[in-house]
Amino acid sequence: MAHTPLTLRGLSVEGVNQCVHCGLCLAYCPTFSELGTEMDSPRGRIFMIKALAEGRMSLTDPAVEHLSLCLDCRACETACPSGVPYGRLIEAAKAEIERQRPGGAVRRAFRWLNFGVLLGHPKMLRAAAAGLRLYQASGLQALVRRSGLVSRLPGTLSAWEALLPSLPRAVDRAPLPAHIPAEGERRGRVALLTGCVQSVVFGAHNRATARILAKNGYELVVPQAQGCCGALNAHGGDHARALSMAKETIGVFEAARADAVVVNTSGCGAHMKAYGALLADDPAWAGRARRFAAGVQDISELLAKAPLRGPLRPAPMTVTYHDPCHVVHGQKIRKEPRQLLAQVPGLTLVELPEADWCCGSAGIYNLTQPEMAARLLARKVGHVESTGAQAVVTANPGCILQIQQGLRERGRDVAVLHLVEILEKAYGG
């Protein structure tokens, strides 16, 4: 009997055969820890994906429910001795769910708006942001929150509302210049992914990143034509659009002719590092994608290569560090952010219990699975409180929004900062 490779609608899930059912992943899976149900564990989901590919099982309601509950945090990959490429497997499964079970008209419209319109078109996203800013600045948001109207919205919508970041003023949402020269001895030329949501909501992070890179001798190019990297689409099962977004991104950054592509949002970084695998079956793109992926670096990875260039001003405060999933599990970056924080004079770093556990943000998970996201957030916030830290440092906008919301709800005055914000402070920013 010849063995035919296992696929789900053309996407290889052959990786399921690497799972030997040892179960070492179980206790590292946030959903399994919360629910204790095997279907909501990595081992159980791998089993289901295998059963789907083999035709032993079909996408019934429970199967969709359990597969959709996966955060795609990839903590299981860190734990797995067998090297199961779990992230790829679950993305294939989610893509299959979207094909077979696109849901009702409202859900489809919502997805189209998110994945097709907003993420695909930076201008549209900026326009939406302007509207949002108006909603907040006008006092309408405060009114809505007071009115209790939110609690009557359907689950995902109320989660959206609660998460809405305080959007910066238009001036802070302005794009970065296309080129920023290095200060001091030049170390190299790097290109920055400004991110789609990032550039709108957290423009300050990009500016901080740019300043720190310049201080550390990096010449920075910011390709103005860049769009979304497609990570959210891939995680959400929108495989086709994820492919075209990847190709566009590769094209834009190749033209920048930089030594490295620097990313300060974890989901994007992890996804772009996986372009090689994503486009492996496309002969026209496989090689380019592999080369591109090899040049992608998280900001902490790049900066930790050498001691930070001084002078650094003291930042006398106690902080704790939350590992974004797609930094620690997706890119296996654990030491670097801590090394960087340790270089800031006066700063005390307290280790966060379960620092590398998902906070529940997980891309758009907190919108699609608000209940589980809330449980994980409560767990995270509880740990933050136990450290007594004045600020949580992390490295991903989704985590920042999520943890901020959790702390706000508990009435905690604890700041949530991007790693680059702390470093920028140390540089006197």
Pairing outcome for strands 179-180 and 218-221? antiparallel
Shortest reach from residue 334's CB to other proteins, in Å: 12
Query: If you search the block for the tokens 């591109």, which residue do you land on?
Result: 292
Please, which contacts does 409-414 make with residues 24 or more away whose CB atoms are closer than 8 Å? 409/162, 410/381, 410/385, 412/381, 412/384, 412/385, 414/384, 414/389, 414/390
Shortest reach from residue 40's CB to other proteins, in Å: 9
Shortest reach from residue 31's CB to other proteins, in Å: 12
User: Which amino acid is it at 75?
Assistant: A
Residues in contact with other proteins by the rule CB under 8 A: 1, 3, 17-28, 32, 36-39, 43-44, 47-48, 51, 56-57, 60, 62-63, 66, 79-84
402 CB contacts (<8 Å, ≥6 apart)? 163, 359, 360, 361, 366, 373, 377, 380
Nearer to other proteins, 62 or 310 (CB): 62
Nearer to other proteins, 42 or 236 (CB): 42
Nearer to other proteins, 43 or 207 (CB): 43
Shortest reach from residue 34's CB to other proteins, in Å: 10
Nearer to other proteins, 179 or 335 (CB): 335
Shortest reach from residue 56's CB to other proteins, in Å: 8
Q: Quick check: bond before 42 cis, omega within 30? A: no
Q: Is 392 helix (H, G, I), strand (E, B) or coil?
A: strand
CA–CA separation, 232 and 268 (whole Å): 8
Shortest reach from residue 332's CB to other proteins, in Å: 11
Is-contact 424 185, C-beta < 8 A? no
Nearer to other proteins, 85 or 360 (CB): 85
Nearer to other proteins, 39 or 263 (CB): 39
Is-contact 175 196, C-beta < 8 A? no
